[in-house]
């Protein structure tokens, strides 16, 4: 048996790459220049690597898993979301999968709060007007937005990031927080996270919410969860924030709700076909569009790399990695 081969599918922060190489876990292939693996490269990787460290934007061909059986033993994902990995196929073909929770919770909630504020207070639109030289000066009716402080925030998905969002909204902005989640959240967790109130359904949350922020995982179970029915249930003039996954939102319904004014605005970090955008969004002023920046701070991106390495190391040492998904 030759030396173990490890592939990192996209370029990582330097410190994390250096650590991975210096750990001596095997021969490490780094992607410089940083390009996404093609289908052919994935299929070749299935036969060449013992461990792969993929990330959230990877498009893994469905045939990869069978081809990788008996060769690739672990996929230590760089990212908390793993809806780009076919977990069932990985399990069936003996490939362990890990992810990187916790380390990006605060930064993602910070960005969600930023998008909420930007959408509510029309910051993107105002910046465009100012840059274009179109600002005619202060006046009482200029670019009126929606008040955030004291409003009601609805949260879909009360995991780590949903809870962090609730703390920011309640503690920082005095917002009332209501949420929906499938698990029955204990009173002490609700109290510690924005005095949040759990409601029975997304429709009930929507009916109460001035702002709706999404923090559920992506994948088949949440595909187009936020659809025309949810937009109908929202209060007129509500605002949607999505830092979860693009496929959670029915983008046709979102466009219709924004164009009709049913939704006052949206702040999005993720998209159904990202990085491709629904071209109709570009023509709307009442939408703030960020390029999947939730975890994009130096400290967090390095921490994600270290967490993936910790998981890989544990797996290769025959231990159960801390963040084993399957
Ligand atoms: C994740 O980790 O799932 C985010 O979408 C990117 O950091």
- Going by alpha carbons, the residue nearest to atom 3 of ligand 1 is 81
- Going by alpha carbons, the residue nearest to atom 4 of ligand 1 is 79
The CATH number covering residue 225 comes to: 3.40.50.720
Q: How far is the CA of 108 from the centre of ligand 1 (A)?
A: 8
218 lines ligand 1 (CB under 6 A): no
Q: How far is the CA of 16 from the centre of ligand 1 (A)?
A: 17
In a domain, 326, yes or no: no
> Could you tell me if 176 and 31 lie in one domain?
no
In a domain, 321, yes or no: no
81 lines ligand 1 (CB under 6 A): yes
> Could you tell me if 144 and 272 lie in one domain?
yes
> Could you tell me if 58 and 122 lie in one domain?
no
**CB of 284 closer than 8 Å to CB of 261:** no
In a domain, 35, yes or no: yes
> Could you tell me if 246 and 312 lie in one domain?
no
What residues of the chain score a pLDDT lower than 70?
A: 1
Q: How far is the CA of 98 from the centre of ligand 1 (A)?
A: 13
Look at the block and give the residue holding tokens 């939102």. 249
> Could you tell me if 23 and 140 lie in one domain?
no
> Could you tell me if 235 and 265 lie in one domain?
yes
* DSSP element (H, E) containing 98: strand 96-98
Among 64, 101, 104, residue whose Cα is nearest residue 84 = 64
Query: pLDDT value at position 1?
Result: 54
> Could you tell me if 109 and 140 lie in one domain?
yes
- Going by alpha carbons, the residue nearest to atom 2 of ligand 1 is 79
- The model carries a pTM of 0.97
Query: pLDDT value at position 2?
Result: 74
> Could you tell me if 149 and 20 lie in one domain?
no
For Cα atoms 247, 45, 19, give the angle at the middle one, nearest 5 degrees.
85
295 lines ligand 1 (CB under 6 A): yes
- How many domains, in total, are found in the chain? 2
- Going by alpha carbons, the residue nearest to atom 5 of ligand 1 is 81
* Residues catalogued as catalytic: 245, 274, 292
d(C-alpha 34, C-alpha 194), whole Å: 40
> Could you tell me if 135 and 153 lie in one domain?
yes
Q: Which residues contact 12 (CB under 8 A, 6 or more apart)?
A: 20, 30, 78, 301, 305
In a domain, 323, yes or no: no
305 in helix, strand or coil? helix
**Burial zone of 243 (CB within 10 Å; 0-12 exposed, 13-18 middle, 19+ buried):** buried
Q: How far is the CA of 236 from the centre of ligand 1 (A)?
A: 31
Domain limits at 50? 5-103+298-316
Q: Which residues contact 53 (CB under 8 A, 6 or more apart)?
A: 6, 7, 8, 9, 20, 75, 76, 77, 78, 308, 312
> Could you tell me if 115 and 228 lie in one domain?
yes
> Could you tell me if 22 and 159 lie in one domain?
no
> Could you tell me if 160 and 278 lie in one domain?
yes
Tell me the two tokens of residue 245: 């996954």
């Amino acid at each position: 048996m030759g030396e173990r081969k490890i592939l990192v599918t996209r370029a990582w922060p330097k410190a994390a790459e250096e650590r991975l190489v210096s750990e001596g876990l095997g021969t490490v292939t780094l992607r410089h220049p940083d390009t996404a693996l093609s289908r052919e490269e994935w299929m070749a990787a299935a036969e060449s690597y013992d461990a792969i460290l993929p990330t959230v934007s990877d498009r893994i061909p469905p045939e990869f898993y069978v081809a990788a059986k008996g060769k690739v033993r672990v996929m230590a994902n760089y990212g908390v979301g793993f809806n780009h990995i076919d977990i069932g196929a990985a399990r069936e073909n003996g490939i362990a999968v890990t992810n990187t929770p916790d380390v990006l919770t605060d930064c993602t909630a910070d960005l969600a709060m930023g998008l909420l504020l930007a959408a509510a207070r029309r910051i993107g639109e105002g910046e465009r007007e100012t840059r274009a030289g179109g600002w005619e000066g202060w006046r009482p009716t200029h670019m009126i937005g929606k008040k955030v402080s004291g409003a009601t925030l609805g949260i879909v998905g009360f995991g780590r990031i949903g809870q962090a969002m609730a703390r920011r909204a309640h503690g920082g902005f005095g917002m009332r927080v209501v949420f929906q989640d499938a698990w029955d959240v204990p009173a002490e967790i609700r109290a510690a996270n924005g005095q949040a109130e759990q409601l029975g359904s997304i429709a009930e949350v929507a009916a109460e919410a001035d702002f709706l922020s999404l923090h559920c995982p992506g994948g088949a179970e949440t595909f187009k969860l936020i659809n025309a029915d949810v937009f109908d249930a929202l209060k007129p003039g509500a605002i949607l924030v999505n830092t979860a996954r693009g496929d959670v939102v029915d983008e046709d319904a979102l466009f219709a709700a924004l164009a009709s004014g049913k939704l006052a605005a949206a702040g999005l970090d993720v998209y159904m076909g990202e990085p491709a955008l629904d071209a109709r969004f570009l023509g709307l002023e009442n939408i703030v569009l960020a390029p999947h920046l939730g975890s994009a701070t130096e400290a967090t991106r390095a921490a994600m790399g270290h967490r993936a390495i910790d998981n890989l190391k544990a797996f290769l040492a025959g231990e159960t990695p801390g963040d084993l998904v399957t």
